[in-house]
């Protein structure tokens, strides 16, 4: 079985690649290394350094390898920042995805697995249910929903089977903890290990359900071997919601540090996000069950080794109006 994993040098993608290799797949990883790291790439995989926005390369890659399956995880995932990088967001997250879908249709791929996001729900009724109408509130969520819709059309028109997964707030080893704009667990982990106060937007009573990578990646990889998942949309993640204040307390505790926080001006974001996972349990027969502090404990030893890495300069800001002051000051 020949399988393409986009974003395979990244956080979730590298774990999914390992699961697929262990299951006997021949894996090709496509990643431009804008967010991923070369050390995350399994040695048994074939690596192609390129971007999904290069449609000619996508076509030639599919012609060369004749992929059976595609796992599309490549994306710039930053809900809050996406308001300020609209062109970058839509180019990478929509146009790049369309390039892959086109190539998958032309190559008669057996199944296209797409990692979407619960960002598509916006501030809808909680817990988010796959049957409710998505109303995203940021360009990132809009982009994810657009690709979901395009996959549905491609299935109806061309017969391309798909699985749409909506994982949420995934954390763990190999997470990008040096990106100042996204991944609150990683941001907190880096700050506390460097002896800095953790920065919280607003009052910190926003709630999220954080999902450990070791629970999520195996389910993503299993999607192609789960007939009931085909042509379905499935929420994927933990039921255990907590506030951002509680997260800060947990990160400080597992790092053996005193909790120190600085509250910044509130930013534009969904205040509470929690998903229903009944469909996940019905289809996969499993529930991600790693408790938050248990997952953070596994993450700390790895994070100590990378917390000193310098944040890369991100040069793609298009709109600075209404941008959080803490972000503007770092430009």
Contact of 76 with 93, CB cutoff 8 Å:
yes
CA geometry: angle 16, 228, 215, nearest 5 deg: 35
Pairing of strands 241-243, 207-209: antiparallel
Task: Give the 3-state DSSP-derived string for 96-164, with helices as H, strands as E and coil as C.
Answer: HHHHHHHHHHHCCCCEEEEECCHHHHCCCCCCECCCCCCCCCCHHHHHHHHHHHHHHHHHHHHCCCEEE
**Cis omega (within 30 of 0) on the bond before 323?**
no
Active-site residue (options: 15, 140, 162, 212): 140
In three-state secondary structure terms, 20 is helix
Rg (CA), the chain: 19
d(CA 37, CA 14): 9
Characterize 209-223 residue by residue with b for buried, 16 or more Cβ atoms within 10 angstroms of its Cβ, and e for exposed: bbbbbebbbbbbbbb
Residue 15 catalytic? no
Q: Which residues are CB-neighbours of 16 under 8 A, at least 6 positions away?
A: 5, 8, 71, 73, 217, 220, 221
Record the tokens describing residue 288, joined without a space.
């991600």
Record the tokens describing residue 117, joined without a space.
């996001």
d(CA 181, CA 83): 12
Q: Which residues are catalytic?
A: 140
């Amino acid at each position: 079985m020949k399988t393409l994993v986009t974003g395979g040098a990244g956080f979730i993608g590298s774990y999914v690649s390992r699961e697929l290799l262990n299951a006997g797949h021949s894996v090709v990883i496509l990643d431009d290394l804008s967010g991923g790291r070369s050390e995350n790439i399994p040695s048994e995989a074939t690596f192609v350094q390129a971007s999904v926005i290069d449609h000619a390369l996508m076509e030639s890659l599919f012609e060369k390898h004749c992929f059976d399956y595609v796992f599309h995880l490549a994306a710039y995932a930053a809900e809050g920042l996406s308001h300020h990088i609209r062109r970058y967001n839509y180019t990478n997250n929509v146009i790049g995805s369309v390039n892959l879908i086109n190539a998958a249709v032309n190559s008669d791929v057996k199944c296209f697995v797409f990692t979407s996001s619960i960002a598509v729900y916006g501030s809808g009724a909680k817990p988010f249910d796959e049957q409710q109408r998505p109303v995203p509130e940021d360009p990132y969520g809009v982009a994810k929903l657009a690709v979901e819709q395009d996959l549905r059309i491609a299935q109806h028109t061309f017969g391309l089977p798909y699985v749409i997964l909506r994982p949420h707030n995934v954390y763990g080893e190999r997470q990008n903890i040096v990106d100042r704009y996204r991944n609150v667990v990683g941001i907190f982990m880096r700050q506390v290990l460097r002896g800095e106060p953790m920065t919280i937007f607003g009052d910190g009573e926003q709630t999220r359900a954080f999902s450990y990578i070791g629970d999520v990646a195996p389910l993503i990889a299993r999607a192609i071997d789960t007939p009931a998942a085909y042509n379905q949309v499935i929420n994927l993640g933990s039921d255990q919601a907590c506030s951002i204040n509680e997260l800060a307390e947990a990160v400080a505790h597992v790092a053996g540090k005193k909790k120190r926080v600085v509250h910044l001006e509130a930013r534009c974001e969904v205040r509470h996000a929690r998903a229903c996972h009944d469909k996940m349990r019905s289809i996969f027969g499993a529930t991600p069950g790693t408790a938050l502090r248990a997952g953070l404990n596994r993450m700390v030893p790895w994070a100590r080794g990378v917390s000193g890495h310098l944040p890369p300069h991100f040069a793609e800001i298009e709109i600075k109006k209404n941008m959080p002051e803490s972000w503007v000051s770092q430009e």
